[in-house]
Amino acid sequence: MRTIKGPAIFLAQFAGDRAPFNSLESIALWAAKLGYRGVQIPSWDARLFDLKLGAESKTYCDEVRGTVAGHGLEVTELSTHLQGQLVAVHPAYDLAFDGFAPEKMRSNPKARQAWAVEQLLLAAKASANLGLSAHVTFSGALAWPYLYPWPQRPAGLIETAFDELAARWRPILDAFDSAGVDLCYEIHPGEDLHDGVTFEMFLERTAHHPRCNVLFDPSHFVLQQLDYLEFIDLYHARIKMFHVKDAEFRPTGRQGVYGGYQPWANRAGRFRSPGDGQVNFSAIFSKLTQYDFPGWAVLEWECCIKSSEQGAREGAPFIQRHIIQSASTTFDDFAGSGADQRANRRMLGLG
C-alpha cells in the first residue's frame, strides 16, 4: 500500500486580481506558508498557467515546475473543468455557459465546442510536458434537463445523449492515452456523469477506455445521498484523483435534495469546509489507502459560511491529520512461526 500524497490545494477558488493570488509565484508562496505541498492549477486562468504555451513548450513547463518547487511544492494536476463543460452543452444552458468561452466564441455553440475540444487536446500535451499522470475535467451534459422529467422521457432519449457524449470524448481520451495521462471526470451533479450508474453508461460506450477515470469528491455524493464509501469499493480501480471537500445534508419538512431554489446557505444540502460537514474522511482515507490510491489529497475549498482564508488555513493540517502512513509490516508479525511448506501440510493433515 502507498501513502497518499498531500496536502495539496486546488487554486481555482483562490485565484484573483490582488496579491498574493494573481501570479503563480505569489500564490505558490502563500500555499507553501499554509503547509501545502502541492498545487492543482486551473488551466483557464492565464495568471497562473498558459495552457497553449504549456502544450507547445517543455521548457515553459519546466519553468512552471521550478517556480512551485522553489517554494517546496509540486504541481499535482491541471484542471479543465470549464473547458470540459463546453464539450457538451444542452441548448437550455447556452447562455449560462457562454461566459466560459472566449468572447469571439459566444453565441456560437459549434465554435464554442470546437474550442473546448482543442483546449482538452492542449491539456493532454501540457500535462505530459509537466510530467503529470492525471488530469481533471467535467464531462458536460446533454441529458441533464431530463433528469427528473415531466412529461416522461421518450424511449431512447438518454441512450442517444450518452452515445453522443461518448463520441465527443473518445478522440480526447485517445489523445490523453497518447500523452500517457489519465483523464479524470469529476462525478458531479449538473454533469451527465453524476453518479456510478452514469459513469458506467459512459464507460461502456467508450469501450472501457483505459484513460477514462474518476476524480472522487465525496461532497457531491452527500448532496445526492449516495454511499460514497461503497463508491470507492466499486470504482477504486478508476479513482485516480481526490478532492477533499465536505458537505452536509439536513432535510426538513420544507425541502430536501432539490433545495427549493434557495441560495446555498439556505439549502438542505450545502458545501462546507473540511471538518464542518458530515463526510467521514477517516473512513475515506482508510479505504483509499487500502486500495493503494496513487494520487494526491487536494483541498477544494467551497463553503457558504466560512471564509476562504480560514478554510485554506485549516485545510492543510486537516488533510495532514488524515493521511495514513501505510504499513510496511503486518501488525501480528511478532507472532509468526516461520514459513515451512512441509509443516503447513502436516498442520492440514496432508502428511
Q: How far apart are CA 30 and CA 143, in angstroms?
A: 41
Residue 288, pLDDT above cutoff 60: yes
Residue 328, pLDDT above cutoff 80: no
Write out the residue range of the structural domain in which residue 84 sits.
5-347
CATH of the domain at 229: 3.20.20.150
Torsion over CA of 142, 144, 150 and 155, rounded to 10 degrees? 50
Scanning 180-270, the segments in alpha helix (DSSP H) are 196-205, 218-223, 228-235
- Is residue 283 within 8 A of residue 230, CB to CB? The reply is no
The whole-number pLDDT of residue 326 equals: 82
What average pLDDT does the chain have? 96
The domain tally of the chain equals 1
What digits encode the pLDDT tens for the residues 232-285?
999 999 999 999 999 999 999 999 999 999 999 999 999 999 999 999 999 999
270 φ/ψ angles, rounded to the nearest 5 degrees = -150, 150
Contacts of residues 203-206 at CB distance under 8 Å and 24 or more positions apart, as own/partner, are 203/238, 205/162, 205/163, 205/165, 205/166, 206/166, 206/169, 206/170, 206/173
Q: Using CB atoms within 10 A of its CB, is residue 164 exposed (0-12), middle (13-18) or buried (19+)?
A: middle
Binning pLDDT at 50, 70 and 90, where does residue 340 land?
A: confident
